[in-house]
Amino acid sequence: DIVMTQSPDSLAVSLGERATINCKSSQSVLYTSNNKNYLAWYQQKPGQPPKLLIYWASTRESGVPDRFSGSGSGTDFTLTISSLQAEDVAVYYCQQYYNDPYTFGQGTKLEIK
């Protein structure tokens, strides 16, 4: 199984500041034949299901604000929120869909400082 490890486990950022969440996979999720990274990011607010933010490591889902961006390749990925808003308080998960079983990171809890 591909193990997904996120860092940090929790993060407190001031409103308007940048938030950065990291995700590392135990093996590469880059499929060389199409040069795509099989990595998605989700946001989960309390009492709600996860919401897809980003897929292919850097493609924003329709309707997701452009303050959310994804980057990285191979085994190391980053989710960046450029200017934190109050509504961004949530737990964020990465997920690889390169191989089944499709696995998630343990989550990063983002709070306001």
Q: Which residues bind another protein (CB under 8 A)?
A: 38, 40, 42, 48-52, 55, 61, 93, 95, 97, 100-107
Least Å distance, CB 80 to another protein, is 19
Least Å distance, CB 51 to another protein, is 7
Amino acid (1-letter code) at residue 111: E
Show the tokens assigned to 21.
């969440």
Measured between alpha carbons, how far is 26 from 28 in angstroms, rounded to an integer? 7
In the bound state with another protein, the residue whose beta carbon lies nearer, of 16 and 101, is: 101
Using the 8-state DSSP alphabet, how is residue 112 labeled?
Answer: E
Amino acid (1-letter code) at residue 29: V
In the bound state with another protein, the residue whose beta carbon lies nearer, of 16 and 48, is: 48
Residue where the block lists tokens 């940048």: 18
In the bound state with another protein, the residue whose beta carbon lies nearer, of 82 and 102, is: 102
